[in-house]
Amino acid sequence: MNRRKLLSLLGLSPALLAGAAAGERNAIAAGKPAKTAQGGDKIVALNPKGTPPPIRLIPMAPRLKTLDGKTVYLVDTGFPGGGLLLQQIQIWFQKNMPGVKTVFHRKAGPYMEDDPALWKEIQEKGNAAIMAVGH
């Protein structure tokens, strides 16, 4: 990817690619203000956005060959309409795939909060999960 485009996507100026000139770096390191081409002082600032933490990638779960005889958890995260959608999915499974057991479960707390007890239950008793996380 083009570095200029990447910097602009991050909200940074492509001028960062040029970096500071050697004289400016020495002046900054000495704690003195750098001079501009016109002789005035140059203000040097840091990006207030900072550096985001690295993203930890989590691989997707392996795919099941079939759902027959499996348990699928339908997890409602509390997003408006999510529970209704999952209940309709549960009805669809009962009509079209009766060999699949579905368990409807409302996640504890708001969307962004973790629910370790539910995740543990799904790992122990379930084979798959469908979560309604909103748009």
C-alpha–C-alpha distance, residues 26 and 30, integer Å: 6
SS3 of 17, please?
A: helix
Average pLDDT of adjacent 10-residue blocks, the chain of 135 residues: 66 54 58 64 74 88 92 93 93 97 93 91 95 79
Residue 101 confidence (pLDDT): 97
Residue 81 is encoded by which pair of tokens?
A: 């309409």
Element at 130 (helix H, strand E): strand 128-132
C-alpha–C-alpha distance, residues 76 and 84, integer Å: 9
**Model pTM score:** 0.57
What are the residue boundaries of the structural domains of the chain, listed by start?
A: 3-42, 71-132
Residue 45 confidence (pLDDT): 74
